[in-house]
Structures are given as structure tokens and as C-alpha cells.
């Protein structure tokens, strides 16, 4: 593990590690994390990117978002467990869409979390700082081994698991934080900010792309601006709040999950009521515009990283 981390640090220092791993994370659940991860994965695959969507979450919501919860692709986290616990290659279970490879979450990630806690306790007894930090690089080592196989890797991370969040932040290059405006969501954002700081001290490639505001009323422009100002204050200038917000349309979200499709795939569906279709088109447009904004910020921060490397 130490050798893998040393190699990674050297690649970063040499500016030889292509930045492509996006971590979608918040310290609180129910803020749109899995929906955002699935929608971004579909959006990137539709423009010709080869995408790996890895769900580091025991809930396994991505399988519902993409419609494979009852199919052969849903392995309940077995592929991740084999890679992290047994040292096997990190292998997706297949393609949920053309060019979109999935590494599902599920109940078998509980074994991974248990092992991570054990490794953290053992590391705390070590005298060498490198040994103390090595446990946080288990996912990074597995992901780096397959990094060159994909154009984009998206890590959808469990909200309540500090070990999994630190693993993702050590493996990632860019962080996107979905958040609502309520105090619990903002507290979750600040929790992630602290963990981001811990990981960034060891992972020089890590950059915070920005915060995505979820569940907004599109007609309440002033309220949206107030929410953005509050979140920007929480970030203390560390990253932008994305201009594009994701509107609150509960009926559209329910329809998407029941059909196993993201809003971009449902915008012209004849299986839903025409009035809902109008709302779906608006929601799909939100995700599409956000994907463009994230790509632009990805390019900007990558150029900035190269200039300072």
C-alpha cells in the first residue's frame, strides 16, 4: 500500500496523473447525491466518454437510478469487496448504458467498512506518519490500477461513513458537493470540508470543484441567491457554488427512479403524463447545464493545477 501511494505522489509531483476522478459527496443523506452521480454519468457517456460509476455506499441507489437493481449488474458490492479486501482488480459488473460501466454498492460494503475501521486502528499505533496514513489509500491503489481504462471515474460516496469518505477523497481529483439549504445539509457540507482538508494534505491532486444547490424553487430567484450566498459563506471562498441549480420536482424524481432512468432519458417519454413531461424537461435541462458547468470547471482547475505543479 505504501509503495502504491508513493508511486501516486510521484506521478502527481511529475504532473503525470491525468485528473479524471470526480467524488460526489456530502456528510448528510437525501441531498441528491446518487441522482446527481447517475445523471452526470449518463451525460458524460452520451458525449462519448468512457465512464466508470462506482457507488461507495451500502444503500445501492445507483442500481435503481439506472434500472439494473434486479439484473445481473447488481452484485451488492461484491466486486468492490473482492478488490479492496482480496486484492483483485477493480472490475465493473458491466455496462448500464453504452460506455457507462458500473461498480455497484450494496450490503457487501459493510465488510469493507469494518476492515477500514480495523486498518485505521492499527495505523494509529504506528510511529511512522506514512504508516499512519497508508490505510486511507486502499481505494486509491485499486482505482489507480484501472484509471487509464476510463475517461471519467465518478465516486458516489456514502454520507455517514467517514472511512469511505476519506478513501474516496484520497482516490479523487475533484470534488462536487450537492447540498440543500437546510441547516442539516449545510452542516454535512462543513463536515465534508473538514475531511477534504485532511485528505488534501496527502492528496495534492485534490480540488474542490464546487457545490450544487438542490431542491430549489425556480421561480424564487431571490431565495436562490440567498441560498447561494449562505453556502458560499460556508465554503469561505474555497470553491464556487455552481450557477446551475437543480429544481425540486418530486413527482419527476419518483418517475425517474420507478423507470430506472435519469431525467435526460425521460424528457420525451410518452409513458408519463404530459404535465409531468414539461417538468421533466426542465429538470433534464438543469442536469444538462450543470454537466457543462462541471466540465468547464474541470478544465479550469486542471489548467490551474498544471500551472502550479
Per-residue pLDDT of the chain (309 residues), as tens digits, is 667 667 777 777 777 788 999 999 987 778 889 999 999 999 999 999 999 999 999 999 999 999 999 889 999 999 999 999 999 999 999 999 999 999 999 999 999 999 999 999 999 999 988 888 889 999 999 999 999 999 999 999 998 789 999 999 999 999 999 988 777 877 877 788 888 888 888 888 898 898 898 866 655 565 556 656 665 665 555 667 898 999 988 899 999 999 999 999 999 999 899 989 999 999 999 999 999 999 999 999 888 877 776
Distance CA 224, CA 30 (A): 19
Contact (CB, 8 A) for 140 and 113: no
0.85 surpassed by pTM: yes
The C-alpha R_g of the chain, in whole angstroms, comes to: 19
| 109-141 core/surface letters (b: 16 or more CB in 10 A; e: else) | beebbebbeebeeebeeeeeeeeebbbbbbbbb
Q: Calculate helix-pair angle for 138-146, 78-86, nearest 10 degrees.
A: 110
Q: Are 249 and 279 contacting, i.e. CB atoms less than 8 angstroms apart? A: yes
The C-alpha atoms of residue 83 and residue 89 are separated, in whole angstroms, by: 5
Which residues fall within 8 angstroms of residue 182, CB to CB, at 6 or more apart? none
Taking the alpha carbons of 40, 244, 212, 9 in that order, is the dihedral positive or negative? positive
For residues 178 and 210, the answer to whether their CB atoms sit within 8 Å is no
Asked whether the CA dihedral 298, 265, 35, 114 is positive or negative, the reply is negative
Alpha carbon 71 to its chain centroid, in Å, reads 23
- Residue pair 123/114 in contact by the 8 Å Cβ criterion: no
Q: Fill in the DSSP letter of residue 148.
A: G
Measure Cα distances from 237 to 120, 154, 209 in Å.
31, 24, 12
CA atoms within 13 A on the CB side of 254: 5
Alpha carbon dihedral 12, 17, 19, 25, in 10-degree steps, equals -60
CA distance 13 to 297: 22
Domains of the chain (ranges plus CATH)? 18-308 (3.40.50.300)
Q: Which position has the grid cell 459527496?
A: 25
Residue 178's beta-bridge partner residues? 212
- Cα-Cα-Cα-Cα dihedral of 269, 270, 276, 282, to 10°? 30
Amino acid at each position: 500500500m505504501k509503495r502504491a501511494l508513493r508511486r501516486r505522489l510521484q506521478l502527481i509531483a511529475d504532473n503525470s496523473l491525468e485528473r479524471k476522478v470526480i467524488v460526489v459527496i456530502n456528510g448528510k443523506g437525501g441531498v441528491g447525491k446518487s441522482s446527481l452521480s447517475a445523471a452526470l454519468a449518463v451525460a458524460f457517456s452520451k458525449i462519448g466518454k468512457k465512464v466508470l460509476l462506482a457507488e461507495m455506499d451500502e444503500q445501492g441507489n445507483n442500481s435503481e437510478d439506472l434500472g439494473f437493481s434486479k439484473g445481473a449488474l447488481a452484485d451488492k458490492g461484491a466486486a468492490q469487496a473482492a478488490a479492496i479486501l482480496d486484492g483483485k482488480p477493480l472490475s465493473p459488473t458491466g455496462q448500464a448504458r453504452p460506455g457507462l460501466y458500473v461498480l455497484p454498492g450494496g450490503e457487501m460494503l459493510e465488510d469493507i467498512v469494518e476492515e477500514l475501521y480495523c486498518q485505521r486502528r492499527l495505523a494509529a499505533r504506528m510511529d511512522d506518519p506514512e504508516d499512519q496514513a497508508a490505510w486511507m489509500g486502499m481505494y486509491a491503489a485499486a482505482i489507480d490500477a484501472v484509471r487509464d481504462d476510463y475517461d471519467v471515474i465518478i465516486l458516489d460516496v456514502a454520507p455517514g461513513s467517514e472511512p469511505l469518505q476519506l478513501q474516496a477523497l484520497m482516490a479523487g481529483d475533484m470534488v462536487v458537493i450537492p447540498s440543500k439549504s437546510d441547516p442539516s445539509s449545510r452542516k454535512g457540507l462543513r463536515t465534508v470540508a473538514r475531511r477534504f482538508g485532511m485528505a488534501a494534505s496527502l492528496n495534492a491532486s485534490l480540488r474542490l470543484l464546487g457545490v450544487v444547490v438542490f431542491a430549489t424553487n425556480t421561480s424564487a430567484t431571490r431565495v436562490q441567491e440567498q441560498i447561494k450566498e449562505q453556502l458560499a459563506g460556508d465554503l469561505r471562498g474555497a470553491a464556487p457554488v455552481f450557477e446551475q441549480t437543480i429544481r425540486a420536482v418530486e413527482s419527476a424524481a419518483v418517475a425517474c427512479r420507478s423507470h430506472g432512468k435519469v431525467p435526460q432519458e425521460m424528457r420525451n417519454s410518452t409513458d408519463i403524463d404530459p404535465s409531468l413531461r414539461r417538468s421533466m424537461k426542465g429538470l433534464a435541462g438543469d442536469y444538462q447545464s450543470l454537466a457543462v458547468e462541471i466540465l468547464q470547471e474541470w478544465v479550469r482547475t486542471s489548467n490551474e493545477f498544471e500551472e502550479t505543479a
